[in-house]
Chain A
Amino acid sequence: MKEIMFAGIGGQGVILSASILARAGILKGYYAAQSQSYGSESRGTATRAEVVLSEEFVDFPHVEHADIFVVMAEMGVKLFASKVSQEAIVLYDNSVFELSENIGKERIGIPATRLAVDTFKKPLYANIIMLGAMMRHCGMVGPEEIKTVLKETVPSKALADNIKALELGSGLEY
């Protein structure tokens, strides 16, 4: 079983990332649970999304101690650090903020927003870049499942860029 937590600001697409991951997990035959916590406003408030992937039904479907923490905004670190396991891998967008907290076991900076702006001229795909990086560390789902879900999820004209963003994130050397 793996517990994965995504955090950011409303509008960054963290819930979408979590939902894609969960559905990719389903394609692999896992039990998946995905939940989220967000504000009433559609943008700008702290947002958290959680995924639990497991071989079998999970009694408690929320993250208790995240094995992987993907964080795209600094306020997400302070708010949700208590739900991160001491053994966790923390992936954070180091083009947006520097991680000063000593959370998890391994902390890896992914310049997702800068990469998105450089490649696509907009920060829009930063969440998918982070998802790609996460995929490498999660080990439970691969690019094939995620691409299948992307095909079902994103508008066809945006598919190529989404796949490129996924590959950017998963192919990074760090």
Chain B
Amino acid sequence: MPIEKKKTHLKAGKYFMQGDEACAEGAVAAGCTFFAGYPITPASEIMETIVRRFEEEKRVFVQMEDEIASMGAIVGASWTGAKSMTATSGPGFSLKMENLGYAIMTETPCVVVDVQRVGPSTGQATRTAQGDLMQARWGTHGEHTIIALSPWSVEEAFYETVRAFNLAEEFRTPVIILMEEATGHLRETVAVREAIEIFNRVEEGNGAPFGGEEPLDAVPPMPRFGTGHRLLVTGSTHDPHGYRKTQDRVTQERLLSHLQQKIEYHKERIVQWEEYELDDAETVLISFGFAARAALKAVKDARKKGIKAGLMRLKTVWPMPTERFETLAAQAKTLIVPEMNFGQLRGEVQRFTGGKKVIGVNRADGEVITPESILRAVEGGTSL
């Protein structure tokens, strides 16, 4: 079995650390052996922690000339068998997009962290935002699908990073960790468990190294360079053996279907969310990341006032649990999506409500969204 139970490098117990540090520690625990990056606020502390930890652990860290090269480096490293990672923020995330598409097309497991700050462009380096939700989904061109996770606490930054590596290995795909500056720079209590589950990619097996053979949703084995395989790795349309087929309609169609189905057909292994007080909720909040913490506080404050409010909090933001959006929309009198942008998640939820209007609580001035502003919307919503 590719699943391995592994002792974490940290002694089980309570720690007090930053979200960025926890993300780096999660990477070390998950078995990340190669990190390439370029410093940027508010993600630099991930790299800083990695540098320190990798020296102790004798793993490979490279500071690259920019983010484009960093993304290229982790793709290459992954093909040597390494679990690889890079971390950045807005402007750097934009630069990663080209090679992110290459990683998707070449089915290269790797982890890309985006600690979101205010944009567009350089925006405000030290201020928080959730403006990259759609970029994570559609930032690289062409029809594709992606996995993106959204930790809401420092503790989750640790465990969701482990999960990101496991999903990358299992589905042979880049996985994005979408944090916010608010979590990346938050210091908080973290409980580290004795052991974690680690998924290691299947390197040897029957069949060709790329998808496109039946069943289309199956993840092909990924041999590493230097083990006797004649490996062709290309970002152009290729058949299951890696041969370029840049004019062939059927190959393109099968490859695209494979890339989509290996993720979409296995959503139950990927999509995670948590529910709070939803059983009898008439006002349903749907949120993610740091905004969901403000939303949960607002839900609890609303309950104290006798308002039947509840929260669905996305841990996996891509793909989304759209079936649950539908059932919640049927149950709710009012639907509210709080987020630190102008409505990127709201738009997605709105597609699955059968026409029921979704109210947005939005903040995009670089400050965190507050429980108070969400509570006001909850109170206003229920009196409609």
- A interface: dominant SS: mixed
Contact check, B188 vs A40: say whether CB atoms are below 8 A apart.
no
Given A26-B14, A31-B189, A32-B16, A40–B297 Cβ distance below 8 Å?
no
Contact check, A60 vs B126: say whether CB atoms are below 8 A apart.
no
**B101 at the binding interface (Cβ < 8 Å):** no
Contact check, B372 vs A32: say whether CB atoms are below 8 A apart.
no
| Contact stretch, chosen from B78-86, B105-113, B179-187, B318-326 | B179-187
Taking CB atoms, residues of chain A closer than 8 Å to B293 are 59-61
Bound-state CA distance A64–B41 (Å) is: 25
**A35 at the binding interface (Cβ < 8 Å):** yes
Interchain Cβ contacts under 8 Å between A and B, 18 examples: A26-B14, A26-B189, A31-B189, A32-B188, A34-B186, A34-B188, A35-B185, A39-B126, A40-B126, A59-B293, A59-B300, A59-B371, A60-B294, A60-B297, A60-B370, A61-B186, A61-B293, A62-B370
1/0 per residue, CB under 8 A from B, across A53-95: the answer is 0000101111010000000000000000000000000000000
Bound-state CA distance A33–B296 (Å) is: 16
Taking CB atoms, residues of chain B closer than 8 Å to A22 are 16, 187
Residue of B nearest to A40 (CB): B125
Residue of B nearest to A35 (CB): B186
Taking CB atoms, residues of chain A closer than 8 Å to B367 are 37
Contact check, A33 vs B186: say whether CB atoms are below 8 A apart.
yes
Bound-state CA distance A57–B154 (Å) is: 12
Bound-state CA distance A19–B41 (Å) is: 19
- Chain A residues with CB under 8 Å of chain B are 19, 22-23, 26, 31-40, 57, 59-62, 64
Taking CB atoms, residues of chain B closer than 8 Å to A19 are 187
**Known interface pairs A40-B125, A61-B153; 7 further A-B residue pairs with C-beta atoms within 8 A, sorted by A's residue number:** A26-B16, A34-B186, A40-B126, A59-B300, A61-B186, A62-B370, A64-B370
Taking CB atoms, residues of chain A closer than 8 Å to B189 are 26, 31-33, 57
**B309 at the binding interface (Cβ < 8 Å):** no
Taking CB atoms, residues of chain A closer than 8 Å to B259 are none
Taking CB atoms, residues of chain B closer than 8 Å to A59 are 293, 296-297, 300, 371
Bound-state CA distance A144–B297 (Å) is: 33
Contact check, A34 vs B126: say whether CB atoms are below 8 A apart.
no
**B198 at the binding interface (Cβ < 8 Å):** no
Bound-state CA distance A26–B300 (Å) is: 25
**B335 at the binding interface (Cβ < 8 Å):** no
Taking CB atoms, residues of chain B closer than 8 Å to A37 are 126-127, 367
Taking CB atoms, residues of chain B closer than 8 Å to A31 are 188-189
**B368 at the binding interface (Cβ < 8 Å):** yes
Taking CB atoms, residues of chain A closer than 8 Å to B182 are 35, 62
Find the residue from A26, A32, A59 having the highest chain B CB count within 10 A: A59
Leading 5 A-B pairs by shortest Cβ distance: A60-B297, A34-B187, A59-B297, A59-B296, A33-B188
The B271-300 residues at the A interface (CB cut-off 8 A) are 293-294, 296-297, 300
